[in-house]
Chain A
Amino acid sequence: MTPEHSWDVRLIEAAEIEVAVVTGACTGAAFESVIDADLRLAGDAATFSCAGARDPIGCARRLTRLLGEARAKEIMLGERTFGAADALRLGLVTRVVPSSAIADAVRSLEDGLRALPPLALRAVRDAVRATRDLTPRAALELEHQQFRRLIATADHKAAVAAFFARREPAFTGE
């Protein structure tokens, strides 16, 4: 990323996973895009603020789901600007690295995601999104449905075969 781009949301295509990377100021609409991503990491010079969000009410709801009530209120009610260390404490980002190392960190995260079976990744992503609206019983039923589907996939069989052969699996998304 160039200095004029202080944030970015990158799509891992096969699995439709969005990774947000923040290296500088992230506020308003940028903040909204970043909290919509699936994974978030930041450089140590990143700053965050919800000020100027187009849909603050929706933003508050999404943050509550993402981080819990106490943390969402801390971010939304005071509208303060906070740095990378606070973002990590709040769980808004799950990893902070020095700005100079951000490109490597992003590459290694993306490579890791691309090496995973895309059907399972997508199923996990959808299940996490759905879980909040479901009772535990219904959520488990959904998880079981997906498990039954996934265990019959070629990628699962490839993973098990690779495990017993002590080699890295290759996934086809089937």
Chain B
Amino acid sequence: MGSNAHTRWWAEGPVGVIVLDNPPMNVLSDDNRRGIREALAEFRDNDARAVVLTGAGERAFCGGADLKEEEELTTETVGKFLQRGDETFRALRECERPIVAAVNGWAMGGGLVLALWCDVRVGSTRAKLGAVGVKVGLMASNVQLSRLLFEGRARDLLLTGRTVEADEAHRVGLLSSVVPPDRLMDEALGWARDIAARPPDVVAALKRSINTALDPVDVDGCR
């Protein structure tokens, strides 16, 4: 159990819960980036078997990077900015325990990246996903969308930056289920408890295997 200015986390039985709490849009802050990493480390030490990640309120899961913060980046600081994001995304990806994103509203830009690095995504009927980087002259979530959706649909979302509503997200496989907002946490906890009930070594091996299944393999078997 812990918290910082923009993040709260706790355990519910075998499931760890992380809430991004930076209203109204839950814009991704350094407190969130650090909070996610701290929470995952704590859950690992306390043997949580699955994790749920969500945003506070009904408006946004995560609105992505703070444009003000981005505006102030210089050639010197942009590398650090990318690295801080990367450390967080990698912590989700490399965490042995599966992470369920409960997408309660907007997941855009870096917020979409966050949702896509999770292992399972469930959404409320208010979920809206947008790879909006291109709209501000940037790019984000290319890697994950290309892997999750294959190139055809990835190009559509990345090149237009358009909004994907919950139903379409479900149809194309970006959300595994869609439920009314008041049932979203139960739905996400249900997925997490099902995962938590399975042998943890098997679950960890499955996550690793799927994470690397699409990686190119050299002739000598090196990735």
Stretch at the interface among A24-32, A43-51, A96-104, A131-139: A131-139
B198 at the interface (CB under 8 A from A): no
Binary per-residue interface labels of chain A (33-55) against chain B in the complex, 1 for a CB within 8 Å, 0 otherwise: 00000111000000000000000
Question: Is there contact, CB below 8 Å, between A146 and B139?
Answer: yes
Q: How many residues of A contact B (CB 8 A)?
A: 52
Residue in B closest to A62 when the chains form the complex, CB atoms: B151
Binary per-residue interface labels of chain B (161-176) against chain A in the complex, 1 for a CB within 8 Å, 0 otherwise: 1100000000010000
Count of A-B residue pairs with CB < 8 Å: 131
Question: Is there contact, CB below 8 Å, between A132 and B159?
Answer: no
Question: Is there contact, CB below 8 Å, between B154 and A121?
Answer: no
Contact among A65, A92, A131, A171 for B142, CB-based, below 8 A: A131
Q: How far is the CA of A39 from the CA of B215 in the complex (A)?
A: 25
A60 at the interface (CB under 8 A from B): no
B-side contacts of A139, CB under 8 Å: 142-143, 146
Which residues of A150-171 are within 8 A (CB) of B?
Answer: 150-153, 155-160, 163-164, 171
Beyond A39-B156, A131-B146, 11 extra complex contacts between A and B, CB < 8 Å: A39-B159, A39-B160, A40-B152, A66-B151, A116-B135, A125-B155, A128-B146, A129-B151, A148-B78, A159-B137, A160-B70
Report which B residues bind A (CB closer than 8 A).
67, 70-71, 73, 75, 78-79, 82, 86, 93, 133-140, 142-143, 145-147, 149-156, 158-162, 172, 215-216, 223
